[in-house]
Amino acid sequence: MKISPLLVLLAVAALPALAADNPMRPGMWEITSQTDMPGMPYKMPPMTFKQCVTPEMLTKDHGLGDPHSPPGSHCERAQYKVAGNHAEWAVSCTGRQKLSGKGSITWDSPDSYRGETHMTMDVNGRTTNMTQTMQGKRLGDCSK
């Protein structure tokens, strides 16, 4: 079963921020995600990447930006809500790659968060589920 890397990116598309009033600080962030897909012949390894989060990213469009859409599909985010240090959202994609899911994130402090997404997608006529856990930690300021 081949999964587009964009589908994995979609799960973290809501990061690094979900609302203008979130407690997250701008800076260089290290984000680690682990994906689990029942039925896969092997466990996918964790992915770790770094991202510079600017103050503008934390305020523009509530920090959401546009969800990444697989080729031939259109994805939209909906039903997001923020309460204190916790946020939840839903996403759905139509077109060639059908996908729907929900996610949540909790900021443990202005310098760390943890979250989870649950996705259901149609892959070659079969329904596939994917769960992704993620955690982020602020490493410091972004380099210029």
* pLDDT per position as a tens digit, 16-62: 455 445 678 899 999 999 999 888 888 889 999 998 988 888 776 44
**Helix H or strand E segment including 57:** helix 55-59
Average pLDDT score over the chain: 78
Q: Using CA atoms, how far apart are residues 75 and 92, in angstroms rounded to an integer?
A: 6
pLDDT value at 113 more than 70: yes
Per the CB < 8 A criterion, the answer to whether 90 and 18 are in contact is no
pLDDT top residue among 50 and 79 = 50
pLDDT value at 13 more than 60: no
Tell me the residue type at 37. M
Provide the residue range defining the domain that includes 10.
Answer: 5-140
> Cα angle vertex 21, ends 112, 142, to 5°?
50
pLDDT at 50: 92
Q: Using CA atoms, how far apart are residues 68 and 103, in angstroms rounded to an integer?
A: 15
Please state the pTM of the whole predicted model: 0.74
The CATH number assigned to the domain holding 40 equals: 2.40.160
pLDDT band at 132 (very low <50, low <70, confident <90, very high): very high
pLDDT at 68: 60
The share of the chain scoring above pLDDT 70, in percent, equals 76
Q: What is the tally of structural domains in the chain?
A: 1
Residues contacting 80, CB < 8 A, separation 6+: 14, 18, 19, 62, 64, 87, 88, 89, 90
| E strand segments, 1-144 | 27-36, 47-53, 73-83, 86-95, 99-109, 112-123, 126-140
66 is written with which tokens? 């546009």
> Cα angle vertex 131, ends 125, 133, to 5°?
155
pLDDT at 93: 84
